[in-house]
Amino acid sequence: MRKSIWVIYLLLFFISLTIFNQSNIINEQNIKICQNEVRNRNYSVKNNKSLEPNFNVMLSSTVKVYNKLSQGTGFIFKIDKQFLYILTARHLIDLENKIRLDVIDVKTKKRIKIKNINKANIYIDNQVDMAIIKVPKPKGSFIRLKLSQKLPTIGTRVYTVGHPLDADYIVNTGIVSTYITATLYNKCKKYMLISAPTFGGNSGGACVNNNSEVVGIIVAVTNHHTVLAVTITHIKRFIKELGI
């Protein structure tokens, strides 16, 4: 009898998780795979176990992104005297309603809420699922993630961090499975496919390599929990276009 009760509790728990995450999951039926770019080659997992990313930097640079209906993730990629520059997923941005950010003061370890963001400082990419938010720098100390100079090869170990399930952080790891050309927002572009376990609230979060460098932005979690990420090539192209 007790065993049956526990089974029922577990089933209800997993059903609740599925319902909670649906708001931020881009259903794979809405992702049209244009071309799988894997060729007949032998790939191996490139994982130097002696080298891991700086998890403190990963976590401290991560930003919670709230919109009217759900929450996701972003990360600080640039800091100057006046502003913080945050990368996130385009589908988290609702220009008709206010969004709110939570950033971390690395000295106090406390979250600072940023509200009333000027819409003129929200930049939407028209090519892939990506956006940049520029906000006045609050009082405190902040840290950023550096951008990688190159695409990771297939088989490279990568790490993801985000705020699914309303958690402070969830960190996962996997490999770059392949690069595919997929259609999102009616644009057929190259995306990175990652094997890391990921949930809906991870959308907009960073995908980093062993050197703590950003190689992608998580933008879609399929029904099979494989992950599509905007590549570093698109990230650098968008930043260059904006002159940031």
pLDDT one-digit tens code per residue, 35-48: 444 333 333 334 44
pLDDT for position 4: 54
* Inter-residue contact 176 to 207 (CB < 8 Å): no
* Inter-residue contact 211 to 57 (CB < 8 Å): no
Number of independent structural domains in the chain? 2
pLDDT band at 157 (very low <50, low <70, confident <90, very high): very high
Average pLDDT in the 61-88 region? 94
pTM above 0.75, yes or no: yes
Q: Are residues 200 and 123 in the same domain?
A: no
Mean pLDDT of the chain: 81
Which pLDDT tens digit goes with each residue over 9-58? 444 444 333 433 433 444 444 445 444 443 333 333 344 444 678 888 99
Q: Are residues 150 and 46 in the same domain?
A: yes
Q: Where is 210: in which H helix or E strand?
A: none
Both tokens of 64, joined, read 């919670």
Q: Are residues 93 and 122 in the same domain?
A: yes
Domain that holds residue 189: 21-53+146-242
Query: Phi-psi region for residue 84, left (φ > 0), alpha (ψ -120 to 50) or beta?
Result: beta
Instruction: Say which residue, 71 or 94, is predicted with more confidence.
Output: 71
